[in-house]
A and B are shown apart, each in its own frame.
Chain A
C-alpha cells in the first residue's frame, strides 16, 4: 500500500477544491488534490456558467447584495459568511480569469452593465455569463490552472474515511477506482470540497453522478458539525422523461418568460407570473399540486410557454434561449413543438443544491482541528434558499479563504509517524471487494433514492419522514450484506458501495434535520407546519456525532 504525505489535502476536483489547492500551493504548502472524477468533470463543469458579480451597476454594492442574500435565505444565513460572500464576490471573477477562464464582455472588452443581467431574486442586475460553453469552459480552466500549479493531482480516487490523531484530522483512506489500489494520505490539514448530495434524489437531480454527499459523511464521522441539512434546493424545471434524462435541468423560473404559466393534468392554470417567483416558491407550488393529484402521467406538471409567442418580449426571449443552446435538450427529449414553445411540456422540480453543509467559521474551519470545508460542502452562506448564480462565485471566494488558512495552519503542525486506526480502516476497505451478500450496491442506491424522493422530497411531513428514518436504517442493515465481484480495475460496484455508505449518512442527516424543523422556511416545506415560525425557528439546526450517536442542537443564527 502506498502512503503519501502532504501539508494540505484537498478532497474534490471542482471549483472549490481546485481553488483551495492552488491557493494553498501558492502560499508555499505541499498540496495533494484527490478527485473522484477526472479533475474538473463534476458539477462545476456542468453548471450554466452564470456568476454573480455585484457592483457593476452603480445602484449595486456590497450591502445591496448582502440584503438580497439574507432576504432569499429567510434570515437563517450565517451573516458573517454571507457578508464575506457579498464583499468578495466580485474578486471571484479575477480568480477564475486568472485560471484561464473568460467571461463575456461588451464591445469595448469590458465586463459592463451591457453584459450583466438580472437573475431571479436579485434586486440588481449582477449576473455575468460565458457562452457558448458555460460551465464547460470553467472545467477547462480548472484543469489548466491545476496543471500550471505545483500540486499533486490524483484523479478517480475516492476518499472512504478520514483519520484522526489526538482529536485532529490527520489523513484519509483512499480507493483508486481505476486500479483498485488502496492508499493512505497523511495530511497536516484537510479541506473537504466534495460538493453537495443531489444524487440522494436520483433520478430527480440535475447534479453530476458523483455528487453523493461524500464530504458530509466524511465530516460527520469524525464528529464535525453540520448545519441546516434539511435545506435542499429543488430547481423547478427538470425533465420527466426519457428515463436516462429524468431530472436534468431545463431552467429556473425565469425560463417561463413574461407569459409562461404552469398547468395541471386537467389543463387548469395553477401558477401565473412564474418568471417573477424564486426557485423555492415555484417548486413548492408544484409539489403541492402534484400531492393534490394534479400531476401528469410522467409525474410532472405542464409548463405552458405558448402565450409568450404572442408577445414581442416573449418571442425575443425564446430566440435568445434557443441561440444560447438552452433549449436543445427540450428538443432532444420532447420534440420540435416543445422546443418551439408551440405546446406545453412536462416539468418536475429537481434536486439542485444543498444550502446546508459542514459548519465552518470565516476561515473555512470546522469545529474539528485540521478539517476545513469549502464550496457546496460547507453550509450557512445561503440560509434557507440560494439565489441563482451565487454558487459559482462562492467556490472561488471560499476556496481561496480555505486554501490560504489551511496552508498557514499547516506550518505549525507536525505529521504523526503513524495515524491510529489506519491499519484497521485499510483492512476494512480491502474486505469490500469479493464480499458475498444479498444486494448489489446499485440496488440499495435506488432504494435509498426512492425513499428520499418520496418521503423527504419537496413537500414533507413528519409521519413520512419518520418512516424514511426506519427505511434508511433498514437500507443500512442491508448494506452490510452486499455482493461485490473481485475484479480490481474499474470495479464500479466498489465505488458504489463506498458511495452508498456516504449516502446513507447524508440521507440520515437531511431527514433528521427535516423532522426537527417544524415550520416552512425557504426550501424546506412542511405540509404539517405550513407557516414560517420566526419565534421558534429563526434558528440553525446543528447536527453532530457524539459517542456514536447523532445529536442535534438548535441554536441562534450566527452574527
Chain B
C-alpha cells in the first residue's frame, strides 16, 4: 500500500460555516515534500474548494505564509511532516480557509506615508547605505510578523505592528529619507515593544527587534 501522511487544515467558508473547522487529509509520501506541495495536492486531487495563496514556490514572494502547528511559516519552505496542522495567519481578517486580507495593507503604506518623498535627482547621488538598511530591504512582506506579534490587533489605531515598523526602519536607514521616522514610530505605538517579552519573528530571518524596533524606539 502506498504510504501516506496526514495533514489537518483549518477550513472556513464565510458563506456556509459559522466558524472555522479542522479537516484531515491524507497525502502520498514524497521525499522532501513541502506543506505547499500538500496544499497543491489537495487542491488538485481531493478538494478544489480549498483556498490558499502562493506565487514563487520558494521563499521570495511571501504569499504562502500560514501558521503551521501554531507558528507562522512559509508553506513553500517547510518540509511536510505527518500530523501537521495548517491554519491561516492570525490577527488579519480571514477571507476563506488559508487566505487572509492583504489588500488593506497597501492602504497602510499610503496612509502612513511609508515611502520616500519625491525626488527626481537620485540617479547620480552618492549614497552610503548601512548594513542594517540593506538587510531590512529583504522583507518579503509576507505579514507573518503581524501574526506572531502579541501586541498587534487589526484596526488598532494605537499600535501599527512589526510590518509597519520594518517599513519605517527601511526608510529611517535610507540616506535619502527626509521625514522623522522615529517620531512616526512613536506615534504608531512602538514604545509598547519595549516592554514586550515576546521575540519578534520573521520567517526570512530579518532581525526585526534588533534592526528595526531598537533603531526606531
Hey, which bits of chain A sit against chain B, CB under 8 A?
Answer: 37-39, 41-42, 45-46, 91, 93-94, 97-98, 100, 102, 105, 108-110, 130-137, 139-140, 143-148, 153, 155-156, 178, 208-210, 241-245, 248, 328-329, 332-333, 440, 442-443, 446, 485, 487-493
5 other contacts beyond A38-B102, A440-B48, A446-B44, with CB at 8 A cut-off?
A38-B63, A131-B134, A156-B103, A209-B56, A487-B96
Q: Which 3 A-B pairs have the closest CB atoms?
A: A133-B138, A94-B123, A244-B37
**Cβ A100 vs Cβ B116 within 8 A:** yes
Residues of A contacting B151 in the complex (Cβ-Cβ under 8 angstroms): none
Q: Which residue of A lies closest to B105 (CB)?
A: A38
B196 proximal to A (CB < 8 A): no
**Cβ B139 vs Cβ A136 within 8 A:** yes
Number of interface residues of B (CB under 8 A): 65
What are 26 contact pairs spanning A and B, CB under 8 A?
A38-B63, A46-B61, A91-B123, A98-B120, A102-B134, A105-B126, A132-B134, A132-B138, A133-B137, A134-B138, A139-B61, A139-B141, A147-B106, A148-B115, A155-B106, A156-B102, A210-B55, A241-B31, A244-B33, A245-B34, A248-B58, A332-B32, A442-B44, A487-B96, A489-B13, A489-B15
B51 proximal to A (CB < 8 A): yes
**Cβ A489 vs Cβ B77 within 8 A:** no
Are A136 and B60 also in contact (CB < 8 A) when A37-B55, A490-B99 are? Answer: yes
Residues of A contacting B62 in the complex (Cβ-Cβ under 8 angstroms): 41, 136
Q: Please, how many angstroms separate the alpha-carbon atoms of A38 and B138 in the complex?
A: 17
Are A153 and B106 also in contact (CB < 8 A) when A243-B30, A245-B57, A332-B58 are? Answer: yes
Are A490 and B51 also in contact (CB < 8 A) when A37-B63, A133-B137 are? Answer: yes
Hey, which bits of chain B sit against chain A, CB under 8 A?
Answer: 13-15, 30-34, 36-37, 40, 43-44, 48-51, 54-63, 76-77, 95-97, 99, 101-103, 105-106, 109-110, 113-120, 122-123, 125-129, 134-135, 137-141, 167, 170, 174
**Cβ B174 vs Cβ A102 within 8 A:** yes
**Cβ A244 vs Cβ B57 within 8 A:** yes
**Cβ A143 vs Cβ B141 within 8 A:** yes
**Cβ A442 vs Cβ B43 within 8 A:** yes
Residues of A contacting B114 in the complex (Cβ-Cβ under 8 angstroms): 144, 147
Residues of B contacting A446 in the complex (Cβ-Cβ under 8 angstroms): 44
Residues of A contacting B122 in the complex (Cβ-Cβ under 8 angstroms): 94, 97-98
Residues of B contacting A241 in the complex (Cβ-Cβ under 8 angstroms): 31-32
**Cβ A109 vs Cβ B126 within 8 A:** yes
Residues of A contacting B99 in the complex (Cβ-Cβ under 8 angstroms): 178, 490
CB distance from A175 to the nearest CB of B (A): 15
Q: Which residue of B lies closest to A145 (CB)?
A: B115
